[in-house]
Structure 1
Amino acid sequence: MLDTVDWRAENPKKARNKQLLHYWICQTQKIYCETQAEELRPHVDIHSGCIKKIAALRIENQQLYEELGRLQTENAILKQNESRLSFEEQMTSSDQRIQFYTGLQSKALFVWLLSFCSPALPACKVLSPTCVMMCIIMKLRLNLQHQDLAYRFSVSVTTISDILNQELPKLAEKLSFLIQWPDKDSLIRNMPNVIKITYPKCVSIIDCFEVFSQRPGQLTARAQTWSNYKHNNTIKFLVSITPTGANVRIHVERAIERLKNCNILSSSMSLYMVPHADSIVTICSALCNLQPKLLSEVFTCIMVSNGTYCNSPF
C-alpha cells in the first residue's frame, strides 16, 4: 500500500517537472531562434541595400553613356563646323583669294553679290549662304568636281549636286539684269570716234564659241551637238559686245577669252551639267560684266554692257 501511495504521490511531481523541463527547452529554443534572427537581420538588410545601390549605379551608368554619346556627336559637329568655318574664312580673307576662287576683283564686290543674291539662295542646314555662293561660283570658275567641293565644304556629294541643280537657274535669273543691251541712241552717243568714222552703223560685234561636252548617249542629241569644226560634241553660243575699238574682232575675242576664264566653259562639260548650260553662261556673263572694262575709252554709263551678252540657241 505504501508503494502504491508513494508512486501516486510522486507522479504529479514528475509530471510537473516534465512540464517545467519542456517549458524551459521551448524558451531556450525560442531565445536561440530570436538570437539567430537578430544576428541574420543585418546581413539581409545589407544585401537588400547593395542590390538597390547596384540598380541605381546601373541607371546612372546608362545615363552617363547616353550623355557621352551626345557629347561625342556634338563634338564631331563642332569640329566639322570649325573646319568649314576655317575654310570659309580662308576663302574670303583677302582680295587675292576672292579673285582666285570667284574671278571677282575684290571682297567688297563679293559681299555685294552675296547680299543681292541671298534671297535666291536656299536655306541650307549644313552650309552658310557664303559657302553656298562660293560653292556655285567655284564650280563655274574652277570647274571642280562635285567630290572635291564636298571635301572642301565638309558635306556630301548629294548636297553639292542639290545646291547646283536648284540654284543655277535661280541665280541666273537673279543676275540676268547685269546683261543689258543699250538702246541705239546710247550706243551711238558713247561709241568711240574711230568706230563712228569707220563703222558708223555698227551697233554690235558678234562672234561664236563652242564648249566641249561629253558624248551624249542619245543619237539625236549626239547629232545635234556634233561640230564639224571642232570634230567633237559641243554646245554653241553666240557672243555679242558693244563697239569698243577699231579692230573689232580682237575685242570680241578678248571678251570670249574673259568669259572662258570660267573653266567650266573652257573644258569638257559633263552631261549632268549640260541642261544648265544656258544658266551657266548667263551667270558667267554677268560675272564678266562686273569686271573692269575691256577698254578705258568706253564710257562708264555702258560699262555693264561692255562685257558679253550670251545666249544659247539650244
Structure 2
Amino acid sequence: MKFYTGLQSHYDFTFVLASLGEAAYKLNYLYFRSEQLSVENQFFLTVVKLRQHKTNFELSRLFNISETAVINIWITWINFMYHQWKEINIWPERDLVRFFSPYNFRRQFPTTRIIIDGTESPIRKPRSPIAQQSTFSTYKNRNTIKILVGATPRGLVSYVSPSYGGSTSDRQICERSRLMTKCDHGDSIMADKGFNVQDLFAPYDVSINIPTFFVKKNK
C-alpha cells in the first residue's frame, strides 16, 4: 500500500476514500459508466497513477481493463477529487503552526507562518500559438504550468495556488494568490532569493524572510 499509493496502510486508504463521501459511488463518468472495477479499485488506480506515474497501458494490464477504461476512470476521478477536496480549508491557525514547529526552527524563525516556493510541471505543447507562448518556460525550455506551493515549518502543505502558464513570474503568482490576506499581522514568509515581493506584503505587516543559506545557494 505504501509503495503504490504513499499511504501508510489500508486503513488510511479507506479513510481517504471515505472523505470523498457517498458521491464517489454515483459518479458521472467522462465516456461511460465503469462497471468493470469496484469504486475502491477505481480510486486505487487513480492514486497509483498519481504516485507512480504509470502509463495507461501498464495500468490497463494491471487491472485487466482497456486503456480507454483507464482514461475514463482517471479523468473522471481527478476532476471529482478536485471538486470535493478544494472545499477543505488546509490553512492552519498561527498558534498551531508555531506549536508544531521544530524547536530549533521556532527559536530562530519564530514568526514564520509558511515556507513558499514555485514548482513547474511539464505539459504537452498546446496547439494554440497564444497558449504556447503563455505556457513556455525559459527556465525549463519547454511548455509548463507553474504553481506556488507553501508548507508549514513542520512540513504540512498548507497552500497550493491555482496553476499558471510557465511564462508567469513568481512575483505575478504571489500577487494573484492573495497569500498576504491569509497571513496575520506580524507573520513572516520564508522564501528563496527569487521572491522579491517584500513590497506586496509590507502593507499587510507581513515580512519576507530570505535566509542566508537560500541567498548563497547556487542555481
How high is the TM-score relative to the length of structure 2?
0.62
- Long gaps (5+) in structure 1: 1-97, 245-293, 295-305
Q: How many Å separate the matches in 2 of 1:216 and 1:196?
A: 45
Percent identity reads 28
Measured against aligned partners, the alpha-carbon deviations of 1:189-214 in whole angstroms (never above 9, x if no partner) come to: 44444334422322111111111122
**Shift in CA distance, 313/113, structure 1 to aligned 2, threshold 3 Å:** closer
What is the match of residue 311 of structure 1? 161
Q: CA RMSD in A?
A: 2.3
SS at match of 1:162: helix
What is the match of residue 160 of structure 1? 70
What is the match of residue 95 of structure 2? 185
**Shift in CA distance, 108/223, structure 1 to aligned 2, threshold 3 Å:** same
Match of 2:61 among 151, 160, 175: 151
Measured against aligned partners, the alpha-carbon deviations of 1:193-243 in whole angstroms (never above 9, x if no partner) come to: 433442232211111111112222211111111111111111111110112
- Tell me if the contact between 1:120 and 1:171 (Cα under 8 Å) persists in the aligned partners: no
What is the match of residue 120 of structure 1? 23
What is the match of residue 128 of structure 2? 218
- Tell me if the contact between 1:121 and 1:132 (Cα under 8 Å) persists in the aligned partners: no
Residue 138 (1) aligns with residue 41 (2): no
Q: How many Å separate the matches in 1 of 2:137 and 2:100?
A: 37
- 1:62-73 correspondence runs (5 A): none
- Tell me if the contact between 1:213 and 1:233 (Cα under 8 Å) persists in the aligned partners: yes
SS at match of 1:240: strand
Q: How many Å separate the matches in 1 of 2:163 and 2:19?
A: 29
Residue 172 (1) aligns with residue 172 (2): no
- 1:33-112 correspondence runs (5 A): 98-112=1-15
Q: How many Å separate the matches in 2 of 1:114 and 1:313?
A: 25
**Shift in CA distance, 194/177, structure 1 to aligned 2, threshold 3 Å:** farther
- Tell me if the contact between 1:209 and 1:237 (Cα under 8 Å) persists in the aligned partners: yes
What is the match of residue 174 of structure 2? none
- Tell me if the contact between 2:136 and 2:144 (Cα under 8 Å) persists in the aligned partners: yes
Q: How many Å separate the matches in 1 of 2:100 and 2:15?
A: 28
What is the match of residue 36 of structure 1? none
Answer with 146-155 or 125-134: which moved more.
146-155
Deviation at 1:153, TM superposition (A): 1.7
Q: How many Å separate the matches in 2 of 1:191 and 1:106?
A: 26
Q: How many Å separate the matches in 2 of 1:122 and 1:163?
A: 13
What is the aligned residue count? Answer: 157
Which structure is higher in RCO with an 8 Å CA cutoff and minimum separation 6? 1
- Larger Cα-atom Rg: 1
What is the match of residue 215 of structure 2? none
- Long gaps (5+) in structure 2: 27-33, 165-219
Q: How many Å separate the matches in 2 of 1:175 and 1:196?
A: 30
Q: Relative to total residues, which structure has the larger strand share, 1 or 2?
A: 2
Deviation at 1:154, TM superposition (A): 2.0
**Shift in CA distance, 175/221, structure 1 to aligned 2, threshold 3 Å:** same
Q: How many Å separate the matches in 1 of 2:102 and 2:53?
A: 36
Q: Relative to total residues, which structure has the larger helix share, 1 or 2?
A: 1
What is the match of residue 152 of structure 2? 242
- 1:235-314 correspondence runs (5 A): 235-244=145-154, 306-307=156-157, 309-314=159-164
Q: How many Å separate the matches in 2 of 1:196 and 1:130?
A: 41
- Tell me if the contact between 1:120 and 1:174 (Cα under 8 Å) persists in the aligned partners: no
Q: How many Å separate the matches in 1 of 2:113 and 2:46?
A: 33
Q: How many Å separate the matches in 1 of 2:91 and 2:158?
A: 10
SS at match of 1:222: helix
Q: How many Å separate the matches in 2 of 1:115 and 1:204?
A: 29
SS at match of 2:113: coil
- Tell me if the contact between 2:117 and 2:149 (Cα under 8 Å) persists in the aligned partners: yes
How high is the TM-score relative to the length of structure 1?
0.45
